[in-house]
Chain A
């Protein structure tokens, strides 16, 4: 065996998993087709949301709180600020599924928050003029994380704990068997007891049997100049999600002292081949976000001055795959984070390390089990005759 665990892809999930394995003393190797910290996949763009009152469902909250603790541990180990909890405004129609889910998270898990009506918003956050019937919920357990710093620092920390990172090496095939996994990367072969596939947009190619297939989509981030940037600082402009009319957008405070990132909360289009990610964005495609900014954020100039292009794999239910791959021995997949994975990455790394070491995890990730799309066990399954 070359290693106990081989992590394929040292991006967001891979770097966190490698760190969590290495700090537990596991002999681990990470294999990255570019270099940790590259901007060609899911991570990047200066900031990512950290949210706890979770519109995707109250059942995520314990995992998100575990993630917050893991972010703090990574910060302590590296000496860098990675997670800033400056609050999160969830803005929308009072009686929408979006805010019902946010309220359910708050009530089920006692999240510190405030409900702000239009008058309170005018007073406290005049950057967001609300429409009729709209309300904001300020979640005090929300904020943002720094993606590029986090991925590179986690990879560096893993190496300090003894992990090996193989750079600029693309894995072409994995061959699992009863006693381990053979990983073929060009002319190099690595043998490990367990493989963790955290290959982002390349997951489909490495796991041809994984179903349903991940739908890889472009994530596009756009930055808009502020008319007065002092109104968009971390201390007076919480992160936000807003669903108004046809718009579903997120925003962050200005981190560069000039521009404010406002992004659309869904994929922009489909990526046929992740090796050919198109980094240019047509003006016709940015019309949706330009219009949203013009209508909802009058203190910003509605023209993007920076455009960042990334990609992520989406599942049908927008819950990711975290766990053993159905039908493959010794292979764990971390994929399909559907545009909302970054915040939880250090907890996903911890859960994966526990799955590898203990065969199970105390973190609540049952809803992410890749088996959920394979609920019907056949006679052959029951008799152990499936390979």
Chain B
């Protein structure tokens, strides 16, 4: 029986990641302590992480820990909308040359990001969101493009040519 769900799964996560790093390290030259190869330190750390992860997992089967309560529901809605907004911004800002998508620039990206990200919250009023997007677009244009002079596409490709 799992007594501390959070600890059980974090232990599994550490074991898996540590194992992956240790396994990957064996494909580089490991060397000796006096002459370390690129694989030496990651192999050492990977093994250590596996050991700690296993211990955490096993310990979670035996004892309740202070911060080891149930994990609870995964909040898919904010995850999808926040990360989706970020990805949409990237695609619109610079385009995806590999898939033949041209850049649409910063301003289009800001509108898309604001609308998608706002969907993650409990309240969504389109008018409010569009006002926020306009405010952010003006602010970003002034602060990042005019003041800080950051280099990025601002307008869609069909305007700048």
Asked if A and B bind, the verdict is: no
B residues with a Cβ closer than 8 A to A are none
A residues at B contact (CB < 8 Å): none
